[in-house]
Chain A
Amino acid sequence: MNFSDLLNIGLMQGFAGLSLFAVLLLMGLGLAIIFGQMGVINMAHGEFMAIGAYTIYLGSQLTEQYAPSLMPVYFPLAVILAFCFAFAGGWLIEWSLIRHLYKRPLDTLLATWGISLAMQQCFRTFIGPKEVSPTLPDWLLGSWAPVSGLDIPRNGMFVLALTAVVTCGVLLALSKSRWGLRVRATVSNRVMANATGIDTRKTDRLTFAIGCGIAGVAGAAFTTIGSTGPTSGQLYIVDSFLVVTFGGAASLLGTVVSAFGIAQTQSLAEFFMPGSMAKMLTLTLIVVILMMRPQGLFASKVRR
C-alpha cells in the first residue's frame, strides 16, 4: 500500500462521512427550524422522514409498473412529492395537536411520540413490516472514478447536492422571504410580532409543516443510501436531536457545523473500531460536551 492508496482510502472514508453528514443535516435542519421557532421537539420527525422514503419507494414501484419509460426522470418528481406529503402531514398534525400544547413543551414531546407510534404502525399495516428499497434510476447507480483506486459513489454525490440545495434554500428563505421575516420576528418577540399584524399561529403552522417537509426530503435522500422500514425513522431521531442541540438551537449555521462534526467523527471512528462502538463514542462525546456547554456551539448572548 503506497501513499496514494492511503490518500484514496482517506478520501473515500471522508466521503462516507459526508453522506452521513447530508442525512443528519437534512434531518437536523427540519428539527432546528421547528425547535428554534417554537421550542417544540417533534418526536415524530423520524416518521416524517420515513414518509419521504416511502414516497420514493412507492413512486419507483408505480413507475416501474405503469410507465417504465419514465424511470430516469421519476426520482426528482418523487422528491418533490415527498416534500409535499410530509408537508401536508406536518400541517395536519400542527393543526390537530401541536397548537394546543405550545405552553407545555414536555407534553408535546409525549404527544408527538404517540404520533410516531401510530405512524409506525400505519407503515407496518399498509406497506408492510419488511425493509424496502426503491429501484433507483441508472444515473444514481455506480460510481465516479476520477483516478483509478478512487471511487466516489454517485448516489452520495446526489445526496450531497440535494442537501446543499435544500440548505441554501432554507437559509435564503429565512433571510429573504416574507415567511422568513415572520419567523424571525416571531422568534425574537412573539407578542410584539402578533401586535404588528403577523399571524403567529399561521406562521407556526407553516414553519412546522416546512420542517416536516424537509424531513420528507431527508427521507428521499436516505433511500438512495439505505433501505427503509417502519422503524427507520426512530434510528435517526436521537442523532438529529443531538445535531440540533449541539449546534445551538437558535443557529442554523450551528446545525450545519455540528452535523458535519458529528458525521465526520463517527465515520472516522468507524475506521478504527466496530460501528456500534464508534456510534457510542460519538454520542458520548457529544453528551459530555453538551453537559459542559449546554448552549451548544453557537449561541447568542441575550439579556434575559
Chain B
Amino acid sequence: MSNTDFAIAIEDLTVSFDGFKAIDGLNLYIDQNELRVIIGPNGAGKTTLLDLICGKTRATAGSIKFKNIELTKMAEFKRVRLGIGRKFQTPSIYENLTVFQNLEVSFPKGRSVMGALAFKCNDEVKARVQVVAEDIMLADRLDLEAGLLSHGQKQWLEIGMLLMQSPELLMLDEPIAGMSARERELTAELLQRICKGRSVIVIEHDMEFVKRIAHKVTVMHQGKILAEGPMAKVQADPNVIDVYLGH
C-alpha cells in the first residue's frame, strides 16, 4: 500500500453482497482541498462508495486511506473523529430538537458518556453554533423545531451539523435534491464557501450544478470508474456518453 499525500486514497476497493459486486476493484484519489463530484447512472455504486468510506458498509477487500490512516477496519465513530463527515441522501436531522440543539449536539466535545454528562453549553459552543448557523442561512431559525424547516433548509442544517465538527473530508450525497432553483443557487455558493481548507466529495445528478461547483468529476458505472477529469473532458468522453444515452 502506497504512502500518499492525498486526502483520501482508495485502492482496489471491492464490496460484494451475496456475490453481487456493488464496488469492483475501485481506485480513487482525492487531493487535499479538492471538491470532487461523483456522477453516474443509478446503481453505479456512488452511495455505496460513501458508505464504505464512512463505515456504514464494510469492504470485502481493498484499502481506504485517509491522511495515510487505514480506515477499513475502523469503527464508524472513530472515522468521524479523524475528520470525516457524511451527509445522507435524505436529510437526516433530529426533527424533535431545535435547530440550535441539532447543531449543539454535533459540536465535537463531550463525545464520551462521561464527557457528555460533564458537557456545558458555554460561550465557545454558542459562538460556534452562531457562526455555522449564519453559514447555512439559518441564524434566525435557531429556536425552531427542526422538523418544521423546509426540505432545503433541512439539507442545509445537516450540512451545518457536519460543519460543526470542522471535518477535513466532507461527503455530501445529493445535497440539492428537492431544492428550488433559488435554493440550489444558495447551496452552490455555500459549497464554494465551505470547501476552503478541506476536501469535499459530492454526489449529484444535476449537471448544471456539477459544472458550477466541481474541480474534477469522476464518472462511476457498475461499481467501476468510467472516466475522470475536468467536466468538459468527461462530457466529451464517448464511453460516458454511451453509458448515459445508450441505456
Q: How far is the CB of A241 from chain B (nearest CB, A)?
A: 28
**Cα separation A180 to B87 with both chains bound (whole Å):** 38
Q: Are B56's CB and A304's CB within 8 A?
A: yes
Q: How far is the CB of B221 from chain A (nearest CB, A)?
A: 18
Contacts of B22 in A (CB 8 A): 303
Type the 1/0 row for B18-40, where 1 means its CB is closer than 8 Å to any CB of A.
10001000000000000000000
Q: How far is the CB of A248 from chain B (nearest CB, A)?
A: 15
Contacts of A304 in B (CB 8 A): 56-57
Type the 1/0 row for B47-89, where 1 means its CB is closer than 8 Å to any CB of A.
0100000001100000000000000000000000000000000
Q: How far is the CB of A36 from chain B (nearest CB, A)?
A: 18
Contacts of A303 in B (CB 8 A): 17, 22, 48, 57
Report the nearest B residue to A303, measured CB to CB.
B17
Q: Are A300's CB and B18's CB within 8 A?
A: yes
Contacts of B17 in A (CB 8 A): 301-303
**Cα separation A304 to B22 with both chains bound (whole Å):** 13
8 A Cβ contacts from A259-304 to B? 300-304
**Cα separation A300 to B17 with both chains bound (whole Å):** 9
8 A Cβ contacts from B123-167 to A? none
Interface size band for B: under 10
**Cα separation A193 to B17 with both chains bound (whole Å):** 23
Contacts of A302 in B (CB 8 A): 17-18
Report the nearest A residue to B48, measured CB to CB.
A303
Number of chain A residues close to chain B: CB under 8 A: 5
**Cα separation A300 to B56 with both chains bound (whole Å):** 17
Contacts of B56 in A (CB 8 A): 304
**Cα separation A300 to B48 with both chains bound (whole Å):** 18
Contacts of B48 in A (CB 8 A): 303
Q: How far is the CB of A250 from chain B (nearest CB, A)?
A: 13
Contacts of B57 in A (CB 8 A): 303-304
Contacts of A301 in B (CB 8 A): 17-18
Report the nearest A residue to B22, measured CB to CB.
A303
**Cα separation A84 to B17 with both chains bound (whole Å):** 42
**Cα separation A145 to B22 with both chains bound (whole Å):** 59
**Cα separation A301 to B17 with both chains bound (whole Å):** 6
**Cα separation A55 to B18 with both chains bound (whole Å):** 46
**Cα separation A302 to B22 with both chains bound (whole Å):** 12
Q: How far is the CB of A303 from chain B (nearest CB, A)?
A: 5
Q: How far is the CB of B152 from chain A (nearest CB, A)?
A: 24
Q: How far is the CB of A240 from chain B (nearest CB, A)?
A: 29
Q: How far is the CB of B59 from chain A (nearest CB, A)?
A: 13
**Cα separation A302 to B17 with both chains bound (whole Å):** 6
**Cα separation A304 to B47 with both chains bound (whole Å):** 11
**Cα separation A303 to B47 with both chains bound (whole Å):** 11
**Cα separation A23 to B190 with both chains bound (whole Å):** 63
Q: How far is the CB of B219 from chain A (nearest CB, A)?
A: 22
**Cα separation A245 to B181 with both chains bound (whole Å):** 49
8 A Cβ contacts from A11-61 to B? none
Max chain B Cβ within 10 angstroms of own Cβ: one of A301, A302, A303, A304: A303
Q: How far is the CB of B105 from chain A (nearest CB, A)?
A: 23
Report the nearest A residue to B19, measured CB to CB.
A301
Report the nearest A residue to B18, measured CB to CB.
A301
**Cα separation A144 to B214 with both chains bound (whole Å):** 81
Q: How far is the CB of A107 from chain B (nearest CB, A)?
A: 18
Max chain A Cβ within 10 angstroms of own Cβ: one of B17, B22, B56: B17
Contacts of B18 in A (CB 8 A): 300-302
**Cα separation A87 to B56 with both chains bound (whole Å):** 41
**Cα separation A191 to B74 with both chains bound (whole Å):** 34
Q: How far is the CB of B66 from chain A (nearest CB, A)?
A: 22
**Cα separation A303 to B57 with both chains bound (whole Å):** 8
Q: How far is the CB of A242 from chain B (nearest CB, A)?
A: 27
Report the nearest A residue to B47, measured CB to CB.
A303
Q: How far is the CB of B175 from chain A (nearest CB, A)?
A: 22
Report the nearest A residue to B16, measured CB to CB.
A301
**Cα separation A120 to B23 with both chains bound (whole Å):** 54
**Cα separation A303 to B48 with both chains bound (whole Å):** 9
**Cα separation A300 to B18 with both chains bound (whole Å):** 8
Q: How far is the CB of B20 from chain A (nearest CB, A)?
A: 9
8 A Cβ contacts from A218-261 to B? none
Q: How far is the CB of B56 from chain A (nearest CB, A)?
A: 7
**Cα separation A266 to B102 with both chains bound (whole Å):** 51
Q: How far is the CB of A53 from chain B (nearest CB, A)?
A: 42
**Cα separation A288 to B18 with both chains bound (whole Å):** 27
Q: How far is the CB of B173 from chain A (nearest CB, A)?
A: 15
Q: Which residues of A contact B (CB under 8 A)?
A: 300-304
11 sample A-B contacts, Cβ–Cβ < 8 Å, listed by A number:
A300-B18, A301-B17, A301-B18, A302-B17, A302-B18, A303-B17, A303-B22, A303-B48, A303-B57, A304-B56, A304-B57
Closest 6 CB pairs of A and B: A303-B17, A301-B18, A301-B17, A302-B17, A303-B22, A300-B18
Give 6 new A-B contacts, CB below 8 A, not counting A302-B17, A302-B18, A303-B48.
Answer: A300-B18, A301-B18, A303-B17, A303-B22, A303-B57, A304-B57
